[in-house]
Structure formats: structure tokens, C-alpha cells
Structure 1
Amino acid sequence: MRILFLGDVMGRAGRAAVAARLPKLRADWGLDFVVVNGENATSGAGLSGDHAKLILEAGADCITLGDHAFDQKDMLSFIEQEPRIIRPLNFSKVAPGKGARVFTATQGRRVLVTQVLGQVFMKRPFDDPFSATEAVLKSHALGAAVQAAVVDVHAEATSEKMAMGHWCDGMASLVVGTHTHVPTGDAQIMTKGTAYLTDAGMCGDYNSVIGMEKLEPLRRFVTGMPKARFEPAAGEATLSGVFVETDDKTGRALRVRMIRVGGRLEEATP
């Protein structure tokens, strides 16, 4: 199976890049399943129902969220109506929506998608991500209950993401980090067959400070004082993420590579 995961969509520029480029990528690369992290797609904080529809219509099979999952208040109700949106597994137990779900890809193949929030350097003490993820993966065995399993680790610390990758090795097809908006260069297949990347980066304008217009972040770093709101950068966006090809019989990764399409970080196709 050919799976594409795209990192955090950042504001209008990120949405526009997904809408313009994903349909062609899906066709040209023969993609069987696409996951997009959309938690910064609306004004850089959260995801609205309308913007979720845009990403899904562009060709995403599933949208994952993150710590800003419900910054846009209409998502509280929209997520109950739209099963293709996944909120963090270890979020509040009373939060609406689901933290894991099985989807149908091409040829009837089944793909599990789950997302978990890290604990290190995050603003709130979320529930243990390791035990939560393990329980879901063990109840959806690769090569049996599902043909592929994707884990989105929305976390600040690279060490915590790496630890999650090793924890899930052999139980997931892909473990990929999101949240920090900076793509890492460590795409690999781990010992037991799980593809891994510490951070997928963002789908946004890289002429920025992690997707935000540069002036206000620079002012705050230099002076320690805020003057204005952060605003998403509006230049041409790069789609950043990871491509993985899996074995349907085992669910293990056969090939993995980082993806950079358009904007300042353009790379070749997979």
C-alpha cells in the first residue's frame, strides 16, 4: 500500500497548497491512503469545519488534530458528524470524537489511524501516551485486523517521539511526529519493520518562524514583549511529509522517504 502523511497544515497558505497539489499527487503517485495533520489550518490555531471539508475534498482520507484540536469551537460539534477527523487519543476523556479509527483504503484494505499527544514540554499533563497507543495497536493487529497502521505522535520533544517509534516498532506501519513544524532528516525503517520520522514538518510558508510571519516572533525573542498577535505567513507553501510503501500481508514498511513539494523546500517525487 502507498501511504502519504502530510505534516501540520499552517493557515491559508498551507490550505491553498493542499487544495492545489494533493489531487495531482494522489493521482501521479498512485496513493492508496492519505493522512493530513490539520490542527493549525485555521488562522494557525485549530481547524474549522469548513476548512476540514476543504482538506477532505482535496483528497485526504483522514485528518488528525493535536493540542489545538478544539481551538475552533465549531469543531466540538463537527467532529461528531465527521468520522474522518481524529483527535488525540489521550486527550480529555470527555472530549468529543475518537482518538483512533479504522478506515477503508483502495481495494478494501483496512488502515488504522491514531494520534497521541506527548507529555514532555507540553502545556498540560496529558494521559500516558505509551500505554494508550499500545492498547490500540494490540487490538488492531497488523496483517490481520488491519493491513496498515499509522501513528501520529504530536509532541514537542524529539526524544519522546523517538521513544514512541521504538515502542511501536513491529505494531505500526508508520510512526511520524508532528507539532514542531520543522521537518527532520531521519526517515528510516526500524528493526521490526515500522517506518519512522521524528517530524513531518509543516505544510506552510517556510519564509517564516515555524509558519508565523517573522516580525512578531522576532520582536518577542529580542525584547521579551508582545506587541501584536501572531499571524500565519502567507507566501507560497511547501507540502512537507512522509511517503511509505507497505506490505499488505504483514503491514510492515518496505520503503520510506521524506516528501517536500513546492515552495522553498521542493524535492523530487518518491
Structure 2
Amino acid sequence: MRVLYLGDIVGRSGRDAAIARLPELRERLKADFTVVNGENAAGGFGITPAICEDLFAAGTDVIVTGNHVFDNRDIMPHFQRENRLLRPANYPDGAPGRGIGIYDAPGGRRVAVVQVMGRIFMDPMDCPFRAADEALKPYPLGRAVQFTLVDVHAEATSEKMAMGHYLDGRASMVVGTHTHAPTADNQILPGGTGYMSDIGMCGDYNSVIGMQKDEPVRRFIHKTPGNRFAPADGEGTVCGVWVESDDATGLAKRIEPVRVGPRLQETLPEVA
């Protein structure tokens, strides 16, 4: 199976780039299933039901989120209506939504998508490792599902790497989001899980992690509060990751970065 995952969509620039590029990327990369992270899609903070529908219409199968998932309150009831929208599985009991979904893919195959949120330099949450265990236990890879994607939405690279090794052999891919900067460590771990510390963002890279530069720079220099951050509005670059797995085992055979746009060096997998 071939799965494409696009990183954190930041503001209108990221939305426009992702929506415009996604149909072409699905076709060129022969993706059987596509996931995007939409937690910064609405003005850089949260997501709305209307944006969800735009992303689904462009070819997204599942939207995951992160620590900004509830910044727009009108998304909260949408979780009860839309099972293709996920939030981190280690949110406390009673939070709207769910952190795992099981979805149909072409050829009668099934895909598990799981998101957990890290705890280092993040808001206090339940243990992401125990949450991942609980989510994956009913859906063993290669039996109940043919592909498992685990997103680790976290600040610390060490925490993401630890999760990758912890789930090695139990997931097709364990990849990180949240820091908005693509890393160069895409690899297949010894147990067969594709891993990448951060898949990057979809947005304007002439920015500070997707935000207009002046206010973040001013805050670092003066250490005083100021204006609300606003998404950078230049042409967006699309970043993500592509994984090809073995249907018999569910383990990764290839993992490669995806970067398309004006600011970063472009790279796309060669797919026969």
C-alpha cells in the first residue's frame, strides 16, 4: 500500500497549496490513502468544518490535528458527525472526538490512523505511549489492518524517536509533526517501521514556522507580549512523507520525503 501524509497546514497559504497540489500528488505518487494534518489550517490556529470539507473534496481521506485542535470551538460538535477527523488519543476522557480511526482502502484493505501528542514542552496530557498501546492493541498489523500510520505531535525529537522505536514492528509508519520543519532522518527502523522525526508544514517558509516574521522576532528580542501571530501569506510549499508498505506484513518497504514549492529544495519519490 502507498500512503501520503502532508504535514501541518498553516493558514490560507498552506491550505491553498495543499488543496491545489493534492490531486496531482495522489496521482503521481499512486497513493492509495492520504492523510493531512489540519490543526493550523484556520488562520494558523485550529480548523473549521468548512475547511475540513475543502480538504476532503481535494482528496484527503483523514484529517489529524494536534494541540490547537479546539482553538475554533465550532469544530467541537463536528467530531461527533465526522469520523474522518481525529484528535490526539491521549487527550483526557470526555474530550470531543477520538484518537484512532479504521478506514477502508482500495482492494479491501484497511488502514489504522492514530495520533498521540507528546508531553515534553507541551500541555499536560495522558501518557502517549500507553495511549498508543491501547489504540493499536485491537488492530494488529498485517492481520486486522494492512497499514498503520501513527502521528506523534510533539516538540521533542527525542520523544518522537522513542515512540518510533517503541512501536517498531507494530506500525507501518511513525512520523512526527508540530515543529513545522522537515527533518532529513527518514528511515526504516530495524523492525520494519518507517520513521521520520518531522514531516514539515504546508505553508509559507519565508516565515517563523509559518507565521509572519516581525512579531515572533520582536518577542524573542524584547520578551514582551504584543500582537497576535498571523500566518505568513506568501506562496506555500507542500511538505510531507510517502510510505510504501508490504501488504502481507504491513511493514514499510520505502519511506521518502515529499517537498513541492518555491522555498525548499523539491523532492518527490520515483514511483513506477
Q: Distance in 1 between matches of 2:234 and 2:109?
A: 38
Residue 50 (structure 1) aligned with residue 50 (structure 2): yes
Q: Distance in 2 between matches of 1:263 and 1:145?
A: 41
Q: Partner residue of 2:215?
A: 216
Residue 117 (structure 1) aligned with residue 111 (structure 2): no
Q: After superposition, what is the alpha-carbon deviation per residue over 1:4-55, rounded to whole angstroms, capped at 9, x for unaligned?
A: 1111000000000111110111112211001101000001011111111111
What SS does structure 1 have at the residue aligned with 2:241?
Answer: strand
Which 5+ residue runs of structure 2 have no aligned equivalent? none
Q: Distance in 1 between matches of 2:6 and 2:96?
A: 24
Aligned residue identity for 1:105: A
Residue 91 (structure 1) aligned with residue 100 (structure 2): no
Q: Distance in 2 between matches of 1:142 and 1:5?
A: 19
For the aligned residue pairs, the C-alpha RMSD in angstroms reads: 0.9
Which 5+ residue runs of structure 1 have no aligned equivalent? none
Q: Distance in 2 between matches of 1:79 and 1:13?
A: 25
Deviation of 1:138 after TM superposition, in Å, equals 2.3
Aligned residue identity for 1:230: F
Residue 230 (structure 1) aligned with residue 238 (structure 2): no
Q: After superposition, what is the alpha-carbon deviation per residue over 1:39-76, rounded to whole angstroms, capped at 9, x for unaligned?
A: 00001011111111111111110000101111111110
The alignment-based identity, stated in percent, is: 55
Contact 1:33 1:105 in 2 (8 A): yes
Q: Partner residue of 1:142?
A: 141
Contact 1:216 1:226 in 2 (8 A): no
Aligned residue identity for 2:100: A
Deviation of 1:107 after TM superposition, in Å, equals 1.6
Deviation of 1:266 after TM superposition, in Å, equals 4.2
Q: After superposition, what is the alpha-carbon deviation per residue over 1:130-173, rounded to whole angstroms, capped at 9, x for unaligned?
A: 01101222221111000000000001100000000000000000
For normalisation by structure 2, the TM-score amounts to 0.97
Contact 2:14 2:41 in 1 (8 A): yes
Q: Distance in 2 between matches of 1:95 and 1:138?
A: 21
Q: Partner residue of 2:241?
A: 242
Q: Partner residue of 1:19?
A: 19
* Paired residue total: 269
What SS does structure 1 have at the residue aligned with 2:235?
Answer: coil
Contact 2:257 2:268 in 1 (8 A): no
Q: Partner residue of 1:206?
A: 205
Q: Distance in 2 between matches of 1:4 and 1:138?
A: 24
Deviation of 1:103 after TM superposition, in Å, equals 0.6
What SS does structure 2 have at the residue aligned with 1:115?
Answer: strand
What SS does structure 2 have at the residue aligned with 1:265?
Answer: coil
Q: Distance in 1 between matches of 2:95 and 2:54?
A: 24
Residue 39 (structure 1) aligned with residue 49 (structure 2): no
What SS does structure 2 have at the residue aligned with 1:85?
Answer: coil
Deviation of 1:226 after TM superposition, in Å, equals 2.8
Q: Distance in 1 between matches of 2:149 and 2:119?
A: 20
